[in-house]
Amino acid sequence: MPERSVATRARAALARGALLEAYDILQQVADREDGALDYLRVLTLARLGDTDRALKLYEAYGLAERQDVDALSLQARLLKDKGFASSGRERASVLAESCRLYARVFRRTRDSYPAVNAATLAWITGRAALARQLARAVLANAGVQAASDYYGLATAAEAKLVLGDFAGAAASLEAALAAPDVDAGKRSTTVLQLQRLEPTIPEREAIGPLLALVRPPSVASYCGHIFLEDPALEADLRVRVDQALAKENVGYAYGSLAAGSDILIAERVLARGGELHVVLPVAEEDFVAQSVAPAGGAWAERYRACRAQASSLTFSSTMSHVGGQGQFAYGAKVAMGMARLRARHLNSRAVQVAVAETADASGTLTRSDIRAWQDTGGASIIVEADGIRRPPKPPGPAAESDVGRGTHGLMFTDFPGFARLDERVLPTFQVEVMARAGAALDRNSNAIRYSNTWGDALYVVFDGALEAARTSLELCEALKSIDTQALGVREGAAMRIALHFGPTYWGEDPVTRRTNYYGTEVSRAARIEPVTPPGSVYVTEPFAAVLEMEAEHSFMCNYVGQVDLPKGYGTFPLYHLSRRD
């Protein structure tokens, strides 16, 4: 594939705020040849928040040696991101260095972009006189004065903010939003800049309206009841769903495609030009049989039409439906988390749009989804509906009386090179590695449902994603101090850890007579561990999404890309788990 077409597609994805898509597009070209895509790769990582990896690639690609303003400014941008992710003296030092670097690029190029970034950073770090001097230089720039493009007008707005001209900043932002090249990706960078400026502006109340003005469209997680076709009911719901979508300025939507509410909301999102991202909880054939076909009418045709127009189709699990509502609740939670991940990438707002029967009891899946969203701090727009006629629920597979079901965090680990260890150091391995691992698990035993080991490997089942994330990183930290010399392995040797979250069976193992956890999603978790770099924790997209549904946590999931799993298991999007600074 020619690099030019890859760059064009990647820039288009960045413009839509589809950062994961941009990353995947850029990964399609393995060789670098003339390095035309290097800048885009580093920029995409920066926007994804993976600052450390972006800085390493910036240096590896030699971007500092280029003379164009974008490449020169990118290093300063990465330092700025690193500074804002730090605290205390490190934060002040790194932000000051970023400011100096932006100013140096401005002196070399006389370009307004590094100048306005130097101005805002000088203001944020308490050097008001320098900030105003740079802001005036920006506004005196002939290119800024004549600007009709988004970034030129947004640059003028930021300079006016530094000078305290809030009315002028608002006028420049309104003009920027009318520019022919405006897009969600550019707006998201402006929102981030305003959010960073806000705490340092004495008139903080003036920033809120500007953020509301420029913020990209909202991301919706949607849900609702299945119902039979009813032209009168649907006509009323269409009007009220349209009003809800318009009020929240929804431009992106994540959810299922069950007959009734789901399909109706999806159709209205598409009708307003939004992106539809379909998330199915089970194998598609089973989903249609359970959630579309029973409602009859034209729902199956409408399902296919929405699916064909969707920007993406994701399976939270490809397993068959095994009965009950647990798999559907899990799929809904993954869709909610994916909506929040996209909103974070866009620096936008995530909201839930739900159609719920007015007299609905609290025990339905829809009301459960609403509670799950609200309990983790989300805002819900509920379109109440009267007179919903639901189809008969199709029978599911018969449940085994002695087998349990649940959704859990799943961890697999191993220690690369274990099979090549000298027989004489195996007792040392038990002390240096497995004893430390056991101690880390003991510290989190209240959240562990099951654990097993064989050789160098661990298989652990957790109550939830948050507990799995915490334990896995504690395990990484505990193993940093192993005596590699005593083991006869290279310096830096470490465990690789894979995490997944999904539905499992549990019951008595007929061989060991102990409780065991097994199923399709356990197999998926096991396939991720071999592709994980030593010393790292890789997680699946469902795990990252479910973790995003935690109200408060201190973890980051940085996108790794579409990764081929061993033994022909398929290609899946994976993330690297780390702690937030």
d(CA 259, CA 287): 11
d(CA 507, CA 522): 14
pLDDT band for position 1 (cuts 50, 70, 90) = very low
Mean pLDDT of 396-405: 72
- Residue 401 sits at the vertex; the CA angle it makes with 396 and 404, to the nearest 5 degrees, is 85
Q: What residues have CB less than 8 Å from 206, skipping those under 6 apart?
A: 166
Mean pLDDT of 401-409: 85
Give 353's strand partners: 222, 381
Name residue, tokens 């004893």: 435
| pLDDT score at 429 | 83
Give 169's strand partners: none
Q: What residues have CB less than 8 Å from 286, skipping those under 6 apart?
A: 320, 321
d(CA 365, CA 369): 6
Name residue, tokens 């959704």: 407
The domains found in the chain, sorted by start residue, are 67-214 (1.25.40.10), 218-385 (3.40.50.450), 404-579 (3.30.70.1230)
Contact criterion met (CB below 8 Å) for 45 and 560 = no
Cα 322 off chain centre by: 29
Token pair belonging to 81: 């991101």
d(CA 549, CA 567): 32
pLDDT band for position 478 (cuts 50, 70, 90) = confident
Q: What is the DSSP string of 128-176?
A: HHHHHHHHHHHHH-HHHHT--SHHHHHHHHHHHHHTT-HHHHHHHHHHH
Q: What is the DSSP string of 186-202?
A: HHHHHHHHHHHHGGG-S
The DSSP call for residue 180 is: T
Q: Is 319's pLDDT higher than 80?
A: yes
Q: Tens digits of per-residue pLDDT, 510-525?
A: 898 899 999 999 999 9
d(CA 153, CA 553): 37
| pLDDT score at 404 | 86
The DSSP call for residue 479 is: G
Q: What is the DSSP string of 235-281?
A: HHHHHHHHHHHHHTTEEEEEE---TTHHHHHHHHHHHTT-EEEEEES
| pLDDT score at 477 | 87
Token pair belonging to 548: 């995003």
| pLDDT score at 551 | 72
| pLDDT score at 400 | 61
Task: Please provide the average confidence, as pLDDT, over all residues in the chain.
Answer: 91
d(CA 120, CA 99): 9
| pLDDT score at 534 | 84
Q: Tens digits of per-residue pLDDT, 79-137?
A: 999 999 988 899 999 999 999 999 999 999 999 999 999 999 999 999 999 999 999 99
Token pair belonging to 424: 């004489």
| pLDDT score at 66 | 86
| pLDDT score at 424 | 86
